[in-house]
Chain A
Amino acid sequence: MIPEHPAYRPLKSMDRKTWLADDHILKITNGLLREDYTRLYWVDIRAALLYSLDRPDTLLVVAEVSGVALAVSGATLISPPWGVLAALVFVAIYAAWRFIQPGWAAQIYTKVTSVKLPLASSLASSRRLLSELTLRVSRAQERVLSNDALALSPGPLVISTVSGSKKDPAQSKRVPVIFYGCLFAFGAVSGFNAFTVFLYCLLFVVTFFIRRDFEFPFSIRSATVLNQMLAVSRIVIWLASWRRPFLLLVGSRLTIRTEFVVASMILSLYGLLSVVVAVRRSGQYDLRSSTILGLDTPSA
């Protein structure tokens, strides 16, 4: 008999959204104040697709590295002993975040649903995780070699006409991407005007409540995390100096330190560039209908 409260262990050590039980995978979808569960039982799983996630191209990687370097260089130049230490901590925390981001994901199909699970950053680690899942599914379905199934029925796996409900995943992310564009635009001009600082802070608070899943463009996530880290370090240093604590509520006092203003503007410019690239990429696949190999696939 299966226990009513199964013991869960994470699929990956750092991922708290995908859990493994003895007989199923638990996928947790987090809302604002609620989490919803999707259970995929081993015996119900029909197929698994391994695919690579969106990775930043050379331009964005250069922008990211130079943005971080420029942002932290201000602190190191203005206040050398503590500034260097703060810059190193900043870079170390960001690098830790950067290298645990998934580069690969799996889409698991059952008869009635499909769920996307983030895997590891490298292909080898992702294959290892997927093979662990495959083994569990195979054991549950009383077989070991998954390739045997292909030999059983080598016919085509795709129906020639699609119902039309298939949606381009990039389309659903367009509104949040534009929102982030506004955020970074205010961030880029925040050094000139107190009102833009206020709007930037307001949008910044809202970003905490916008879902950014693992399929959201990496560069936008990266720019947001960098800005969040900068904001937190700004508040921490400001609190540590303990000057007029009640003015924290006003917010404008936080903009006084020049190195923070410049760093915020540089990182916002990086974010703005990420948004532009993401918008251009999403438009690339904005097709109403395509014909491939003689199969018409309308997407009304």
Chain B
Amino acid sequence: MTAAAALTFTCPACGFVLVNEPNRSSIQCRRCGSSITIELFPGFYRAAETVQHQPVVSDEASCFFHMDRVAAFTCSRCGRFLCALCRISWAGEDLCPACLQTANSSQKTTQLSSGRFHTDSLALALSTLPLLGGFLSIVTAPVALGFALFTFNRECSIAPRTKIRSILAILFSATTIAIWIVVLVHTFRGRNTSVPATLP
């Protein structure tokens, strides 16, 4: 089997397996008839890398994690000696597994982040959805306002993202609170004026 055969192409439109005619980069799906252009890169033909383990002899430095193997790399962050198995090549650096885990858990780097929670969308949902239920908004509006203000500066995405959701959440919840204050004041004032004062 050639390296090329390690990757199967299916039609992106209907999921059917594609049959390629040699030396042609444009093919047609036999099931749905979609015209598909295939662009192949050298990585397609690259053979899988094999890791060679060399035992430690005499005064050679050994891997921090495998004492019986010779060190071939150093961790870019902590400087530990690493064998070829323990070296993780990531974002242009050679890292040891411990440093990679530390970088991931500390979340100092966005390069390892697998996802983000949208606090601004939650604030917007809290400020708008309860309006459908009416009276529920008397509770949720202050919560939404506090939450939107508290999380205003928090990054919700590693890609550029506007603050429009947080701003809308603040506006909606502040307006809802203002409306509730007006309604409550009118209600209580109306009650006080409608009840006649009893004179002694």
- Using a CB–CB cutoff of 8 Å, the interface residues on chain A facing chain B are 1-2, 4-6, 8, 16, 19, 23, 26, 28, 32-37, 43-54, 105, 107, 109-111, 116, 130, 134, 137-138, 141-143, 146-147, 149-159, 162, 166-170, 205, 249, 285, 287, 290, 292-293, 295, 297, 299
Contact = CB atoms under 8 A, between A and B. Distances in A.
A285 B42 contact: no
A149 B19 contact: no
A169 B92 contact: no
Contact of B19 (A49, A150, A295): A295
A156 B22 contact: yes
B192 interface: no
B45 A152 contact: yes
Interface residues on B, range: 35 or more
Interface of B: 2-20, 22-23, 25, 30-32, 34-45, 76, 91-93, 108-111, 113-118, 121-122, 125, 131-132, 134, 157-161
Contacts, number: 190
Contact of B23 (A6, A150, A249): A150
B13 A169 contact: yes
Closest 9 CB pairs of A and B: A4-B109, A36-B115, A50-B37, A46-B44, A157-B20, A2-B91, A48-B39, A2-B92, A154-B22
Given A51-B35, A154-B23, A157-B20, A146 B40 contact: yes
Given A43-B43, A51-B35, A292-B19, A159 B111 contact: no
A290 B16 CA distance: 9
A171 B128 CA distance: 34
Contacts of B23: 150-151, 154
A49 B37 contact: yes
Given A1-B76, A156-B20, 17 more contacts: A2-B92, A5-B109, A8-B158, A19-B159, A23-B92, A35-B115, A43-B43, A47-B9, A51-B13, A137-B43, A141-B41, A155-B2, A157-B9, A158-B5, A158-B9, A158-B19, A170-B14
Contacts of B16: 166, 285, 290, 297
A51 to B, nearest CB: 5
Given A2-B93, A23-B92, A34-B116, A49 B12 contact: yes
Contacts of A19: 159
5 contacts: A4-B111, A48-B41, A51-B11, A54-B13, A157-B38
A157 B4 contact: yes
A1 B19 contact: no
B10 A166 contact: yes
Given A4-B110, A33-B125, A155-B4, A46 B115 contact: no
A49 B20 contact: no
Please indicate which of the listed interface residues A138, A157, A293 has the most CB atoms of chain B within 10 Å of its own CB: A157
Contacts of B111: 2, 4, 6
Given A150-B23, A158-B17, A166-B10, A47 B40 contact: yes
Contacts of B109: 4-5
Contacts of A295: 17, 19
A109 to B, nearest CB: 6
Contact of A1 (B15, B43, B92, B158): B92
B19 A46 contact: no
A46 B6 CA distance: 11
